[in-house]
Amino acid sequence: MHLSLLDILVVILYATFVLIVAQFVSREKDDRQKYSPGSTSAKGSLPWWAIGTSLIAANISAEQIIGMSGSAYVLGMAIASYEWTAAAVLLIVGKYFLPIFLKNQIYTMPEFLKRRYGPRIQLVMAVFWLILYVFVNLTAILWLGATAVHTVTGLTVWPSLILLGLFAGNYALYVGVKAVAFTDVVQVCMLVLGGLVVVFIALEKISGGSGIAGLVDGLHILATRLPDHFHMILGPDSPYYKYVPGISVLIGGMWIVHLAYWGFNQYIIQRALTAESVREAQKGVVLAAFLKLLIPVLVVLPGIAAVVLAKHLPRADEAYPQLMTLLPGGLLGLVFVALIAAIIASMGSTLNSVSTIFTNDILRPIRRGTTDREFVIAGRAVAIVALIIAVAVAKPLLGHVGQAFQYIQEYTGFFSPGITVIFLLGMFWKRATETGALVAAIGSVAISLFYRFYFPEVAFLNRMAFVFLICLALAVIVSLSQKAKPQSSTIDVANVDYSTSTTFNIAGLLVISILVALYAILW
């Protein structure tokens, strides 16, 4: 047990504060709006600063804080490409995707597919997303979170999993969508503060100094002692090339990862869909892009520092939790609660999405006479079932995995190529048909499995690029092979305004300039 009495007090005070904020935000909502995870009550009500921070809070959880730190422990700064290239993709999402979604008043991604293609692809993708959220996202967040709780508190893994599930499940199910989004502002502040504390303490311990001089000296010592950990682009001779395959992170499969995740992933994009306007959503996305530039400082540097401070760990994912145990009383409680906050925020977003997709895209089409109250009950029930399943399978699926972050990326990559194909064609090519979309969706999983078992030596980012191109070709061929017929789509893409404000353009140029500089320095 590493938590002191002061640490425990910090945790209790923080939890109380967040619950008060959540109740304040949601106090005027009626029961259907406040308690339904699938409710659209937050739609049209969130300002840009809440959207930007909420996007990051939904994204940054145990999979980044612990999982990415674990990958950094093994392969270094190259893992930061997942964060930095995402900043560029967020600009694309803000300029080209959000205007389409908001103009057409889209609330769920399967809803877009139904209105653009038809009900079959809506159902297929809804099932795919539920599988992905439960068996990849929720399980990984729970497992990595339980790893941290075990290291800091001494609890064994199973009680840690159950406690996390109970706390996060109650938080997500009972404070409502809008309250979750606003409390995410608090969560992100805690995340940044806690991450900076870990970085400062770690670098000062490495250098033996204090203040700015100690930080600079610590970073210099790290770069000197671990030069291989400070390259963004790994060569084919690197033993970790299969995780971050060289130039592919800039021109290959990494773009498929980000487009599917930031553009078409329900539990991420739902935050931007609650904007007051397109301009407000775009400002929120730009804020998220700048925050993504900061994230590697908070999660990658600690993983590299752990190579010096915590050598020979049995599993790389223990790097960040081990650094946390080096913190003094009070500060440990602060960082621990920041981590728990990130886990709760991400789990809350995922559970809300599970409930929303199930009620809106699976249950509602087949039970048209169901009342709103019955949908609320069904939404809660499916979220609870999803959470129970995730708790039960977390250890069997991830207990033997050294880098859970790589597990998440690889198995998400079974679905991402097909998702990207059907959305891009749906938004920007009128001839795309529902049958072509179905072939791309199912083909993505089938071809990925084929590659995984028959060509395991292919890096999964490269595999995703190959599968994307194959699925794109299949969707185009199948669509063209069908007789052209009048469009039944209710999605309007012809009259979408893709213009952006001067502020967005300047901020976007600044983000791209920073990215170019970072890669030029750390190539």
Q: For 26-35, 253-262, 271-280, 318-327, which range has the lowest pLDDT when averaged over its residues? A: 26-35
From residue 199, give the alpha-carbon distance in Å to each of 92, 153, 227.
31, 21, 18
- State the SS3 of 112-124: HHHHHCCHHHHHH
For the segment 123-142, the average pLDDT, to the nearest whole number, is 90
Closest CA to 272 of 53, 521, 79, 517: 53
HSE, CB side, 13 Å, CA atoms: give it for residue 431: 10
380 contacts 355 by C-beta, under 8 angstroms = yes
Helices (H), 369-433: 372-398, 404-412, 416-428
For the segment 69-73, the average pLDDT, to the nearest whole number, is 91
Q: Is the model's pLDDT at 26 over the cut of 80? A: no
* 450-468 per-position pLDDT tens digit: 999 999 889 889 999 999 9
Looking at every residue in the chain, the average pLDDT score rounds to 85
Percentage of the chain modeled with pLDDT above 90? 38
Binned at pLDDT 50, 70 and 90, residue 38 comes out as very low
432 contacts 138 by C-beta, under 8 angstroms = no
Radius of gyration in angstroms for the set of CA atoms belonging to the chain, rounded to a whole number: 22
- Whole-number pLDDT of residue 474: 97
- Whole-number pLDDT of residue 184: 66
43 contacts 184 by C-beta, under 8 angstroms = no
For the segment 420-445, the average pLDDT, to the nearest whole number, is 94
* 392-403 per-position pLDDT tens digit: 998 888 877 767
- Whole-number pLDDT of residue 178: 56
- Whole-number pLDDT of residue 41: 44
Percentage of the chain modeled with pLDDT above 70? 91
Q: At what angle do helices 278-309 and 502-522 cross, to 10 degrees?
A: 20
- CATH: 1.25.40.10, 1.10.3720.10, 1.20.1730.10, 1.20.1330.10. Which one for 40-405+499-522? 1.20.1730.10
- Whole-number pLDDT of residue 46: 75
Handedness of CA 135, 141, 144, 148 (dihedral sign): negative
Start-to-end CA distance of the chain, whole Å, equals: 41
List, as one string, the DSSP characters of 11-63.
Answer: HHHHHHHHHHHHHHHHTTS-HHHHH-TT--TTTT-B-HHHHHHHHHHHH-SHI
CA 187, CA 23: separation in Å to the nearest integer? 15
Closest CA to 496 of 434, 431, 428: 428
**214 or 342: whose pLDDT is higher?**
214
- Whole-number pLDDT of residue 485: 64
- Whole-number pLDDT of residue 304: 94
Phi, then psi, of 163 in degrees rounded to 5: -65, -45
Specify the amino acid at residue 148. A
CA 356, CA 514: separation in Å to the nearest integer? 37
257 contacts 459 by C-beta, under 8 angstroms = no
Under DSSP, is residue 523 helix (H, G, I), strand (E, B) or coil?
Answer: coil
Q: Is the model's pLDDT at 23 over the cut of 70? A: no
For the segment 32-42, the average pLDDT, to the nearest whole number, is 43
Specify the amino acid at residue 463. R
143 contacts 405 by C-beta, under 8 angstroms = no
Global pTM reads: 0.85
Binned at pLDDT 50, 70 and 90, residue 506 comes out as very high
Handedness of CA 170, 129, 62, 92 (dihedral sign): negative
Q: Which uninterrupted H or E stretch holds 110?
A: helix 109-116
Q: Is the model's pLDDT at 204 over the cut of 80? A: yes
Binned at pLDDT 50, 70 and 90, residue 33 comes out as very low
**287 or 311: whose pLDDT is higher?**
287
Domain ranges of the chain: 40-405+499-522
For the segment 272-300, the average pLDDT, to the nearest whole number, is 90
Other C-beta atoms lying within 10 Å of the C-beta of residue 512: 14
Closest CA to 29 of 182, 207, 195, 193: 182
Binned at pLDDT 50, 70 and 90, residue 173 comes out as low
**426 or 267: whose pLDDT is higher?**
426
CA 444, CA 118: separation in Å to the nearest integer? 19
